[in-house]
Amino acid sequence: MFNGPLTVRGALALLPGIALLLAVGLAGKWAQAELKAIGAATHTPLPDIEYVLWAILFGLVIVNTVGVRPVFRPGVATYEFWLKAGIVLLGVRFLLLNLVKLGGLAFVQIIVDMVVAGAVILLAARLLGLSGKLGSLLAIGTSICGVSAIVAAKGAIRAKNSEAGYAIAAILTLGAVGLFTLPALGHAIGLTDHEFGLWAGLAVDNTAETAATGYLYSPEAGKTAVLVKSVRNGLIGFVVLGFAIYWAARGEGEAPQGGAARAKFLWQKFPKFVLGFVAVAAVATAGLLSKGQIANVDNLSKWAFLLTFAGVGLSTDFRQLAKSGWRPFLVAVIGLVVVAAISLGLVLLASRVLGWYR
């Protein structure tokens, strides 16, 4: 998102888009409060629609009707920065012991989910006649971390720009689908906040959509979803390295040779904001912050997520996504269904049969 040092002129160029993110996010807050007020005034049991959904819907309407003008685009693109900042600050609400316990249990589920789903996606891509590298990108994006994983893998496996574009479009489309379908399914199934947070963290590809999906269900589900997704994000380097080695063995990839080179590769691909999340959790665990300070940091994370959710809507242009064609989209659909089904089964098994999360 930011290439090189940010100049004063560059910072000023971001302001219109950031202002738009804030306006859309605050409009979402206003819509939620206004609907509540109307319900109370008329004694009508209106649904309590979270500001998260309102912000995303307002953003979707804007980008898919009048569009986002060029002056706003640089600032709107910062929503990924606000997402990472929100995740780091959210660490203040987790104790390290709970972080390690939940993260360790989620890790087992992630590995099972990733292996099975990745194999199914690669098979579906082959049956539908997609190139091997496009199939690899779809498998990487669906099983690990959406767009970030695809971007990280593109150069390592020497994929074409068009292949990366198709994969990203398919993943973003399915992220939007999951955003609107998973919360409804979660309520229909009767998942607890914790169970749904686990499911969203395991099933939704892109980190921004994962956070939004979780928070649409409840704040508690959102926090759990972000934690589980952060564990998934930490595996990006290992998965990309595995695919790079596979394609390098066929003379079509760039895999680092030797232990030191591979360690450097893993560090380069590792999402550094995950370390910030853990560091903030460590500070909170050590008791270095007062209750008031913890509340302030938590409040800052909510403002960062407010900008993030507005950015999710403003960055989802269905007209552009439709240009990727139906075959990559169909593979992504298969991936979403498989990942959602497997991860839901794993969550229910761990929670209600094995009692891991009691």
pLDDT single digits (tens) 170-180: 888 878 888 88
Whether residue 123 is predicted with pLDDT greater than 80 in this model: the reply is: yes
Are 150 and 164 in contact by the 8 Å Cβ rule? The answer is: yes
Distance CA 152, CA 76 (A): 22
Q: 5 pLDDT band (50/70/90 cuts)?
A: low
The C-alpha atoms of residue 151 and residue 169 are separated, in whole angstroms, by 12
Burial class (CB in 10 A: 0-12, 13-18, 19+), 86: buried
Residue range 50-65, pLDDT digits in tens: 888 899 999 999 999 9
Cβ atoms of 178 and 170 within 8 Å: the answer is: no
Query: What pLDDT is stored for residue 13 in this prediction?
Result: 92
pLDDT of residue 324: 66
Name which residue leads in pLDDT, 352 or 48.
352
pLDDT score of 93: 86
Q: What is the pLDDT of residue 236?
A: 87
Q: Is the predicted pLDDT of residue 320 greater than 80, yes or no?
A: no
SS3 content of the chain, % helix, strand, coil (to 5): 80, 0, 20
Spatial distance between the Cα atoms of 22 and 39, rounded to a whole number of angstroms: 26
Tokens of 295: 């509340």
How far apart are the C-alpha atoms of 257 and 344, rounded to whole Å?
Answer: 38
Per-residue pLDDT tens over the stretch 81-113: 999 999 999 998 888 887 887 777 788 888 888
Tokens of 313: 């809507």
pTM of the model as a whole: 0.86
d(CA 265, CA 244): 11
pLDDT at 3 over 60: no
The yes-or-no verdict on residue 28 having pLDDT over 60 is yes
Residue whose entry in the numeric block shows the structure tokens 């955003």 = 179
pLDDT (0 to 100) of residue 338:
86
Confidence (pLDDT) at 333: 84
State the pLDDT at residue 44: 82
Give the Cα-Cα-Cα angle 14, 306, 8 (nearest 5 degrees): 15
**Residue of 7, 9, 61, 339 whose CA lies nearest to 201:** 339
Can you tell me the mean pLDDT for 187-201?
Answer: 95
Q: What residue type is assigned to position 61 of the chain?
A: V
Cα atoms in the 13 Å half-sphere on the side-chain side of 135: 17
**Which uninterrupted H or E stretch holds 85?**
helix 79-90
What's the whole-number mean pLDDT along residues 270-284? 90
Question: Which of the pair, 184 or 257, is modelled with greater confidence?
Answer: 184
Taking Cα atoms as reference points, which of 170, 103, 164 lies closest to residue 133?
Answer: 164
